[in-house]
Amino acid sequence: MKRIVVLGATGFVGSHVALELQNEECEMVLACRNAAHIHPKLKNNTIAQGDIRDRIYLENLFRDVDVVINAFSWTALYAHERESRELFFEPTIALIDAAIAAKVKRFINLSTASAANGNVANDANAQGTKRHFWPHLDNVIEIEEYLRHRANASFEVINLRCGLFVGEHYSLGLLPILLPRLKTHLVPLVEGGKTQMPLIGGEDIAQAFVKAAFAPSMPHTYEGINVLGTEVPTVREVLEFIHTQFGYPFPHFSVSFPIAHLFGHFMERLDPLMPFDPLVTRSIVHLLKNTGTDNQKAAELLGYTPTIHWKDAVGRQIREIEKRQKSPMKMVKDVQ
């Protein structure tokens, strides 16, 4: 029986993966910083509470483990280069090294479909393209490259580049950031909202990770795979749905990507003088660009078939947001 560790088990991806993994024949270990935040339906599983910056904790966590599912993340949507390095990049490199030392057979890594340029993004094995205006994304890309160079016949890596997360159990994400800003009536469409928004529900992300955990050997020791939802709507379609179904204002005007990028840069520069997060950042603008990705490789290698329609996932997330989010979400994730 496979022994599988789920890192970041209290987060959006980790909790969905763990819930799906309960249906499989395996020994599951839920790794988290604070066990009090474990989903109630997961309380009967083995829980390993600790700080992944603790070397002894990692050594014990990965002992006799077959598969590591890395859903650990610390996120910032702008600036915060030092924090991203110290709280995300360096701990992730350390846990990769610890997994290799413990002879973990397969490492499944959470990444983003926005890592590569649009013209090559559908090749999930293509090297990511750094955008120096978003330090956290650059760290995600560096972690991909580190995994690419450390992968070998004894340490197989599957790097899942997922679309934009939507659904229940949310933490930091595009919708919780976007909705309060729509209420200001100051957020524009970019390029008329014609670009695609590659949304994916939490249950579909979980399906992809679980299938990756049990899939046969990959064609390469490092295999990048894009993972999206059942269909890819345009930004306009998503905002129209949010407007008609939930009453959020629809943007009153449109700007080009270059103008949106400049405005985001201006708002970031003003940030030290403001008591609140920027209205728009260059990272948000970047997430609105086409990725040109699809699920073909995920279907071929993993047998992945998404089932959650984006409207269902968006609707469930908005209802959860309206119930529990009493103030605008910060664009930097707290350490829990």
Quote the pLDDT of residue 15. Answer: 96
Q: Is 50 exposed, middle or buried (0-12, 13-18, 19+ CB in 10 A)?
A: middle
| pTM for this entry | 0.96
Asked if 6 and 30 count as a contact pair (C-beta separation under 8 A), the reply is: yes
Give the Å distances, CA to CA, from 15 to 63, 210, 284, 306.
Answer: 22, 12, 25, 18
Could you name the CATH architecture of 2-170+198-230+292-307? 3-Layer(aba) Sandwich (3.40)
**DSSP state letter for 187:** P
- The span from the CA of 314 to the CA of 233, in Å, is 12
- Helix residue spans in 151-230 (DSSP H): 174-182, 202-214
Quote the pLDDT of residue 336. Answer: 45
Q: Provide the angle, in degrees to the nearest 10, between the axes of the packed helices 310-324 and 235-246.
A: 50
Per-run averaged pLDDT (10 residues), the chain, 336 residues: 97 97 97 95 95 95 98 93 96 98 98 86 91 95 98 98 94 87 95 96 98 98 98 98 98 97 96 92 94 95 98 96 86 68
DSSP β-bridge partners for residue 108: 69, 158
Quote the pLDDT of residue 11. Answer: 94
Q: Which tokens hold the place of 277?
A: 């997060």
